[in-house]
Chains A and B, each alone.
Chain A
Amino acid sequence: MEDRRRRIREAITGQPQATVTVLSSLLAVQDALGWIPPEALEEVAAYTGSTVNDVWGVASFYPNFRFSPPTTHTLEVCWGPTCHLLGAQALLQAFYETLALSGEGDTPDGRFSLRLNPCLGACAQGPVASLDHRVYGRLTPEGARRLVREVT
């Protein structure tokens, strides 16, 4: 626990950019730990001269923060209009089936988390999904199943 607090402090104080805010500090913790543990709210509040309430206000606003420990792998499926037209729903169904999920969330074994992303930014290669922040384009349902099967 104290080790985690130390890692949070390192992430917050080690931000390389000049502008340090509540949001930038939370993003630094998310990058370093893969989630926002409860004590990170206290640390960010103390470091930025803010309150825990205000920090939670920011953390709960942006959907890219996690509030539970990260899974081994992160899958994001794009559901923007381009990918929707090109078969995003079929991809999503393939991921749901392969992972035995029925919506966004984590697999019970803690290996995968599945998120819907409104646009991954590679529309010209749609439909796209990302595995551990690497984007895969022109994906088919079979390709989606293979992606999950072959990840180590």
Chain B
Amino acid sequence: MTTPFALYEAMAREAGARWEALANGPHPWVRVGMAICGKAAGAGEVFTALEKALARRGIQATLTPVGCIGLCFAEPLVDIQKPGRPRVFYPRVTPALAETLVEECLLGDNPRPDLALGTLGGRVEGIPPLEEHPAWKVQVRIATRNCGTVEPANLWHYIANGGYRALARALTEMKPAGVLEEVTRSGLRGRGGAAFPTGTKWSFLARAPGPVKYILANAEEGDPGAFNDKGILESDPFTLIEGCTLAGYATGATKGYVFIRHGHEGPITLTRKAIAEAYRANLLGKNILGSAFSFDMEVVLTGESYVSGEETALMEAIEGKRAMPRPRPPFPAQVGLWGRPSNINNVKTLSYVPEIVARGGAWFAGIGTEKSKGTAIVCLSGHVARPGWYEVPFGLTLRQVVEEIGGGTGTGRPVKLLQTGGPLGGVLGAEGLDIPLDFDGMAQAGAILGSGGIIVADTSTCAVDLVRNLLAFCQWESCGKCFPCRLGFTHLLGIVEGIAAGKGRPQDPETMRAIGQSMTLGSLCGHGQLGFNPIQSALRFCAEDFHVHIREGRCPTGACRPLSLPHRTRPQPVEGWYASHAHHRR
């Protein structure tokens, strides 16, 4: 009898041959980072310039759009691999520079060390290996292992790099309970913010009875300053798809939904394309690889709503309703999407699963710290010399992340604030740099790792101004269901705007604490429950900025100016329209 693994091996042989032909074939291979960060930096024009230059000179080369390797500061990033040579990365390429590279590296044989950032997979004289670059050398790339290397929705590229080995092995020689056991042993905790042990969460769904159960992959990622979920989907969507499929096998689920915000075209298009490819190869659908296991997947879109990233609001949005949280209990593992048992994981969490199953839970548990196993995928942005997203083992200090990987502020001024874990996370002072990067260390310090966003602010920043921005976001995004959250944010924003404008009153911090307390106690979901976090931590770490504003009626840095920030008002019906339609009932 043909086993799933035998079917997989035949595919892997073909994939390997195709990859070998690209990497070591007769022609050079040119890869251009074309995720959103690359495109925002002008990668589209660079790609066109390369295409034209190659055609004009009649050079045979393979030109491939890839995702993001995480080094966003270097975008547009082009890497050139000549037959039998290492990959050479060229940063900040312009269309003119693209012409030069074609002329000198491809037509000629000068790798232009003066223009290169680094090499991967070998050495070229005069160019430092990327493995020695401060933004690369501390990285341990597990969930992001293929990002920037493979063509995002190309199944052959994914399989050639070890993809689907885990699923094929699981379907051939592991029981669902065995897969669940590996994930439990790995110590993997949720990467969406709550850091709940994934194996335990899956066991709730595995125990839930019923013929229809769902795995929901949350790619809503509304946190400003976090872009790693979209980064994975734009760079290697198959790792999420394989992770979802393994989660489905382990828990007895029948269908997986990937939940992405409308408008993020790159992740939506590429994930849909990858899912279609997986169906074609019988890696999704009925009797996957000839086994008894069947699993479907689909991309579902949400409108713009931060709260739709909350697990129960997410289910409402998939059902096509307003993204408002549901009371718990019942918990999703009992009554979830369309009333069926459901399990919600963040994209990053699920993207670790293929490697955990392939290499064993113990291997993963050996990385990181005692209670935070594996790696964190951090997104650096703001006043930082090397913004980007980096996969690093837990246990580094935030200083190592910001100063070594990020290269410091890059503005000549020292770090003043770190904003971590999204707008519901915390605002830390410079002393926060010595906090260890792990779930519990950051939580103890009053911040959270959250989805991995770290926004760096230098001494030109006023904490009041930053907090005002975060509150404006939270007020804008409150779904309105629970009044402590809806009204609380509006009041908090009003108070902080008063402080920013030099009209603060001595009792303001105390009033804000009282409002924050009722929000924490009286809100259904994290949006209201955690909404006071940024103020609380800013009052603790940057009390001086608030004091100067309140006591002296001035901004200590001059950053606080009148702003155009939106206060939310929901769209009003066009006059007469709503009234004329209101009588229409089914």
Contact = CB atoms under 8 A, between A and B. Distances in A.
Contacts of A96: 564
A121 B41 CA distance: 13
Interface string B565-583: 1100011011001100110
A51 B585 contact: yes
Contact of A23 (B75, B303, B585): B303
Nearest to A66: B571
B469 A123 contact: no
A52 B389 CA distance: 44
A26 B303 CA distance: 10
Contacts of B299: 17
A64 interface: yes
B364 interface: no
B565 to A, nearest CB: 6
Contact of B36 (A24, A27, A118, A121): A121
Interface in A21-58: 21-27, 38, 41-42, 45, 48-53, 56-58
Listed residue (B257, B379, B387, B388) with the most chain A CB atoms within 10 angstroms of its CB: B387
A121 B231 CA distance: 9
Contact of B263 (A21, A53, A124, A133): A133
A18 interface: yes
Nearest to A77: B564
A42 B387 CA distance: 47
Contacts of A42: 581, 584
B477 A118 contact: yes
Contact of B225 (A27, A49, A81, A116): A81
Contacts of A136: 40
Interface residues of B, number: 77
B298 A135 contact: no
A82 B40 contact: no
Listed residue (A24, A57, A84, A86) with the most chain B CB atoms within 10 angstroms of its CB: A84
Contact of A56 (B72, B225, B419, B578): B578
Interface stretch (B103-111, B157-165, B168-176, B318-326): B318-326
Given A52-B581, A124-B227, A124-B389, A81 B565 contact: no
B473 A118 contact: yes
Nearest to B229: A121
B264 interface: yes
B381 A82 contact: yes
Interface in B192-227: 221-227
Contacts of B75: 124-125
Given A56-B581, A123-B381, A81 B455 contact: yes
A64 B306 CA distance: 12
A149 interface: no
B476 interface: yes
Contact of B322 (A61, A65, A121, A126): A61
A24 B301 contact: yes
Listed residue (B265, B303, B563) with the most chain A CB atoms within 10 angstroms of its CB: B303
A99 to B, nearest CB: 13
Interface residues of A, number: 62
Given A17-B300, A48-B320, A60 B224 contact: no
Given A60-B570, A62-B305, A81 B582 contact: no
A112 interface: no
B220 to A, nearest CB: 11
A81 B466 contact: yes
Given A24-B320, A80-B473, A103-B564, A121 B227 contact: yes
A140 to B, nearest CB: 14
A61 B224 contact: no
A8 interface: no
Contacts of A56: 573, 578, 581
Given A123-B381, A125-B41, A81 B585 contact: no
Nearest to A61: B322
Interface string A69-80: 000000000011
Interface of B: 36-37, 39-41, 72-73, 75, 221-227, 230, 257, 262-265, 296, 298-306, 317-323, 379-383, 387-389, 419, 423, 453, 455, 457, 461, 465-466, 469-470, 472-473, 476-477, 479, 561, 563-566, 570-571, 573-574, 577-578, 581-582, 584-586
25 contacts: A17-B299, A21-B319, A21-B321, A24-B300, A25-B320, A27-B262, A27-B303, A52-B581, A52-B584, A60-B571, A64-B303, A80-B473, A82-B225, A82-B455, A121-B264, A122-B36, A123-B225, A124-B227, A124-B381, A126-B381, A126-B387, A128-B40, A133-B265, A135-B39, A135-B40
Given A25-B320, A81-B466, 9 more contacts: A17-B300, A48-B320, A62-B304, A81-B455, A82-B455, A86-B383, A89-B564, A123-B224, A124-B37
